Structure 1
Amino acid sequence: MATKHETKQPDTYSFEQDFENEKVVSGGHGHEERNGSSFGAYFNIVCVIAGTGTLQLPESLKAGGWLAALCIVLASAIAIFTGNLLIRCLYYRDGERLSSYPEIGYAAFGKVGKVIIQILHYSICLGGSCVYINIAGTSVYDLAKYANINVPMQVWVMIAAVLVCLPFVLVKSMKEVAILAIFGAVATLVVVIVVMIMGLLDYPNQATNTHAIVHWGALPAAMGNICFSFGGNVVYPHVESAMKNPQSFAKVLLFAILTILGMYMAMAIVGYHVYGDTARTPIYDNLPKNPATTTAILMLVAHVILAAPIMLTAFALEIEDGYDISVARLGKTKEFLIRGVFRAVTVAVLTVPAMFLPVGKLMSLIGSLSNSLIIFVLPIVCYWRLFGIRAMNYPALAFSAICILVGIVACVCGTKDAVIGIVEHIKNPAASTGMH
């Protein structure tokens, strides 16, 4: 019989194994009460992953050509595969559940592994939320400017930060933010539908646009942007920990990623087909200015304001667990005050770069440097370290090699492109604003 500290050696891993109805061990320190629904978990994943990434995919196809559409499909398959590996790593010891992604890093590689994963993990939670605050503020700024309302962009960003801060402070756990996720996912779907309809109606006016099958030199950087669009691993452990039926996580993840893939492919293919070499980020900048476009932008703003608290909650739960900021130790009033101040300060710190950095290149930097490693590489490496490389069958090993290769190439090439873009923006800030 396995002891608490005995490593659990599974049967040889296969793709089908994720969907077996295995009993998942509950518990582990930092574990939330398991009373969340699979339905809520599905919307948490869709809301966190889908959204802003959708709007930059047509430009990713512009950079990489039509072949970049296959990269989106590949990235979705990798997201499903490595997401399931990540959850399996949480249960590598019989009778015990690790609490977070950084804890998996510690179990696999000690303090060095934990620190590396924490840096990458938190850069996604915090950097992605910074991007969301920027997008909300700059999007409203563009609408206001179009309506001759002359309020500085930085003011709108600060207002967006306040709107993000309120649910982040008031809502404590992943189960409680599920209601936000439902509205956020619906908002994203509305954006996709509006942009597709408006783009197709505008197609007769875009006859001179050109397309390419592939741009090999730019394809790795495009893959870096695509990586940003699948950045959900940072919340998977917290989503799974709140599920009443955690053994359903693999199916929830599959349906969530397939939903996201459908929206992504529709947006990317229609956006690139209509606007070709003139496609911009965000894609609604290409659309005719009318009430439908305004609706899409407002729905986007709603999405990012609702999605940012989910990402920030994943970060906050780990910090609060690490410092034992709990009702049991502090009491309700003191716990709420300390938690509220910590979360409010977090949003305030993120607001400063959100007001001044070029968010398009920031998205690319986060996607290339952090997401490509957190999603494509580290779940596999940690799984091999905890269970052994022989714990996978040959098809899973072959796909793992593809994941790692894609992740490293996207990381190196995409990071280089993003850093160059940020340096150029610092030298000439007037050349780009917002997501441009």
Structure 2
Amino acid sequence: MSFSLSRENYAFEDSCRKSTRTSSCSRRDSWNGETRSSSHCDVDMSKPFFNPAGLNWFVTGLFVVGDLAGGGIVALPTAIIQAEFWTGLIVCVILIGVVTYTAYVLGLSWNILLSTWPEYRHHCRKPYPEIGGRAMGKTCQLLVSICIDVTQFMISVVYLLLASKNIMNMIIAFSGTHISFCILILIVATCLLPLCFLKSPQDFWWAVVIAMMTTSAAVILIIVGSIIDYGKCAPFAKLPPFRTTNLFLSMGTLLFSVGGHSAFPTIQHDMKQPKEFTRSVFLAFTIMAFMYIPVCIMGYLVYGDSLRDSIIPSIQTVWIQQAINIMITVHCILTLTIVFNPLMQEVEELFHVPQRFGPKRAIVRTGIMVAVVFVAESVPTFGPLLDLVGGSTLTLTSVIMPCLFYIYLNAYKRKEEITGKPGNGPVGWRDVITFNQKPTLCICIIIMIIGLIGGGCATFSAIVELTTTQFNMPCYVSVFQHKPADNGTASQTNCCGTYQNVSIFSDGKCSDPQLHFYS
């Protein structure tokens, strides 16, 4: 059965909560006092939620990996170098631990909704905003929706740019032909659009499993390519001078690499047994740690400050470099099906689009893709803006909000169990302190404080960087400008060494050096 949650049916006092009764019941809306009859009480709330057509916990774990890894793999080594390696590596390990915990409590929060309010046992288009609304009220629900929409939209733009850039590099490397980056963005978006018409993660689980496999293959090839380059490049590898601004900027990339929590409740909702999401979380972040850390270490040992935006161009064996390009491109294209989904379902809810496939879904989702393409064509270089999103909305949805919502929902649930009375709207902060266990409360508060400080510093540094960065001219402006012909012979390989001119091949060609990249 398909069901769309409506905003007016949101907060209510349920007269059949956790009851063995399975008949219809009436409930009183705690916002407007109306009494409504609800067929959603025809559910045995004493039994755990089970969706026979859903995903098992192992495939769900691969979904989480597919949602996170890929773009982070290629950018994270640069962020670690930017933070002077050891500091960056320690921050990365701590951050992986933090986001593992926040993903865990976010999963517990959704399970509280499933075990308390029966309508969530049907299809829910926007589970994360519903978590925020049940925890802290309708205003919070709207805030979560805005944060998720901004985050998913910007990540979609970044992945579209990354995939298009990789494809352009492959075309140049294999054929020597130069094709306009602006045109490639349009081609990639057009090819991607049919995948975006799928309803929810359980409809395209195969795509994310493939994305995870391609990312794993890319990690292996990065390590192999780095080992080949080690003899020539390692003697010249060094760290750039430490700058506090660089450390804060690297926080945005680190959060982008591990913070995909906006899509987690949507993925969890499509599981056979959402209560097993904890297994999926620990599986996913363990896999990611084994992916990220070796790549970061090899980037430091072999290339040092010759690394730039991505580690891929630093791999000097061309066939390995381009094979990694292909793998990461496939990942970005397939992962966009996950990244787009919460955003598209949110917009569909706004315009009351039916959940079955039809012309309205096609029109809305095509419109969103057009908007993403417009931004990508407007800002073809996106690094500082990515840092801004990573330090602001990603910090909110991946670090602060999961802990905040959990302590409120957990207090609601424990208060109901202890008093034996159903709650009437979100609890207050006194109940949060009273009904949460002190270790849980302390951990969540500490994580939220770290998120506020780290995210705030990263956001401020990104804003400063945005004011000093020279962006490329928008595609729809540059097309009218006269440019010298490009014969496509420029090298796609960033050489190593102090002056970025050391190649492992005697006749190797290097891209133009950027000696002040970290300053």
Coarse TM-score class (shorter-chain normalised): 0.7 to 0.9
1:17 is matched with which residue?
Answer: none
- For residues 376-435 of structure 1, the C-alpha deviation after alignment (integer angstroms, 9 at most, x for no partner) is 1111112233322444434333332332122112322212232333333346769999xx
Tell me, which stretches of 5 or more residues in structure 2 are unaligned? 1-11, 19-45, 412-431, 475-511
1:39 is matched with which residue?
Answer: 58
Contact 1:58 1:280 in 2 (8 A): no
What secondary structure does 2:201 align onto? coil
Is residue 140 of structure 2 the alignment partner of residue 113 of structure 1?
yes
102, 107, 130: which one pairs with 1:82? 102
1:188 is matched with which residue?
Answer: 215
2:21 is matched with which residue?
Answer: none
What secondary structure does 2:392 align onto? helix
CA 1:360 to 1:5, structure 2 compared with 1: closer, same or farther past 3 Å? farther
- RMSD after superposition: 2.9
Q: Aligned-pair distance for 1:272? A: 1.8
Q: Which amino acid aligns with 2:373?
A: T
1:51 is matched with which residue?
Answer: 70
Contact 1:25 1:97 in 2 (8 A): no
Contact 1:135 1:359 in 2 (8 A): no
314, 317, 334: which one pairs with 1:306? 334
Q: Aligned-pair distance for 1:262? A: 1.1
Is residue 155 of structure 2 the alignment partner of residue 128 of structure 1?
yes
1:368 is matched with which residue?
Answer: 391
C-alpha distance in structure 1 between counterparts of 2:155 and 2:181, whole Å? 19
Is residue 346 of structure 2 the alignment partner of residue 346 of structure 1?
no
What secondary structure does 1:235 align onto? helix
Q: Which amino acid aligns with 1:422?
A: L
Q: Which amino acid aligns with 1:355?
A: E
Contact 2:237 2:300 in 1 (8 A): no
Is residue 236 of structure 2 the alignment partner of residue 208 of structure 1?
yes
Is residue 264 of structure 2 the alignment partner of residue 220 of structure 1?
no
My pick for the range that moved more, 386-395 or 157-166, is 386-395
2:195 is matched with which residue?
Answer: 167
C-alpha distance in structure 2 between counterparts of 1:389 and 1:85, whole Å? 17
CA 1:216 to 1:421, structure 2 compared with 1: closer, same or farther past 3 Å? closer
1:229 is matched with which residue?
Answer: 257
1:402 is matched with which residue?
Answer: 446
Q: Which amino acid aligns with 1:53?
A: G
My pick for the range that moved more, 394-403 or 75-84, is 394-403
Q: Which amino acid aligns with 2:363?
A: V
- For residues 77-135 of structure 1, the C-alpha deviation after alignment (integer angstroms, 9 at most, x for no partner) is 12221112222223256243654111222223323212221111111211111111010
Q: Which amino acid aligns with 1:343?
A: R
C-alpha distance in structure 1 between counterparts of 2:463 and 2:15, whole Å? 43
- For residues 5-31 of structure 1, the C-alpha deviation after alignment (integer angstroms, 9 at most, x for no partner) is 7999xxxxxxxxxxxxxx87539xxxx
C-alpha distance in structure 2 between counterparts of 1:321 and 1:426, whole Å? 38
C-alpha distance in structure 1 between counterparts of 2:359 and 2:450, whole Å? 44
Q: Aligned-pair distance for 1:322? A: 5.0
Is residue 275 of structure 2 the alignment partner of residue 242 of structure 1?
no
C-alpha distance in structure 2 between counterparts of 1:120 and 1:286, whole Å? 35
C-alpha distance in structure 2 between counterparts of 1:373 and 1:153, whole Å? 33
What secondary structure does 1:59 align onto? helix
1:380 is matched with which residue?
Answer: 403
C-alpha distance in structure 2 between counterparts of 1:427 and 1:43, whole Å? 36
C-alpha distance in structure 1 between counterparts of 2:155 and 2:513, whole Å? 20
Tell me, which stretches of 5 or more residues in structure 1 are unaligned? 9-22
Q: Aligned-pair distance for 1:289? A: 4.8
Q: Which amino acid aligns with 2:260?
A: G
C-alpha distance in structure 2 between counterparts of 1:33 and 1:349, whole Å? 36
1:11 is matched with which residue?
Answer: none
Is residue 14 of structure 2 the alignment partner of residue 4 of structure 1?
yes
C-alpha distance in structure 2 between counterparts of 1:320 and 1:432, whole Å? 47
Contact 1:49 1:231 in 2 (8 A): yes
1:145 is matched with which residue?
Answer: 172
1:14 is matched with which residue?
Answer: none
My pick for the range that moved more, 217-226 or 61-70, is 217-226
What secondary structure does 1:175 align onto? helix
Contact 2:17 2:117 in 1 (8 A): no
Contact 2:347 2:364 in 1 (8 A): no
What secondary structure does 1:302 align onto? helix
CA 1:182 to 1:417, structure 2 compared with 1: closer, same or farther past 3 Å? same
1:293 is matched with which residue?
Answer: 321
Contact 2:171 2:178 in 1 (8 A): yes
CA 1:217 to 1:362, structure 2 compared with 1: closer, same or farther past 3 Å? closer
CA 1:33 to 1:114, structure 2 compared with 1: closer, same or farther past 3 Å? farther
C-alpha distance in structure 1 between counterparts of 2:433 and 2:83, whole Å? 33
Q: Aligned-pair distance for 1:294? A: 0.6
Is residue 466 of structure 2 the alignment partner of residue 419 of structure 1?
no
My pick for the range that moved more, 414-423 or 45-54, is 414-423
C-alpha distance in structure 2 between counterparts of 1:226 and 1:429, whole Å? 28
What secondary structure does 2:116 align onto? coil
My pick for the range that moved more, 395-404 or 286-295, is 395-404
My pick for the range that moved more, 273-282 or 344-353, is 273-282
What secondary structure does 2:95 align onto? helix
Identity over aligned residues, as a percent? 21
My pick for the range that moved more, 105-114 or 61-70, is 105-114
CA 1:258 to 1:194, structure 2 compared with 1: closer, same or farther past 3 Å? same
Q: Normalising to structure 1: TM-score of the pair?
A: 0.85
Q: Normalising to structure 2: TM-score of the pair?
A: 0.72
CA 1:342 to 1:180, structure 2 compared with 1: closer, same or farther past 3 Å? same
Contact 1:225 1:414 in 2 (8 A): no
C-alpha distance in structure 2 between counterparts of 1:199 and 1:7, whole Å? 58
Q: Which amino acid aligns with 2:225?
A: M
C-alpha distance in structure 2 between counterparts of 1:394 and 1:432, whole Å? 54
What secondary structure does 2:469 align onto? helix
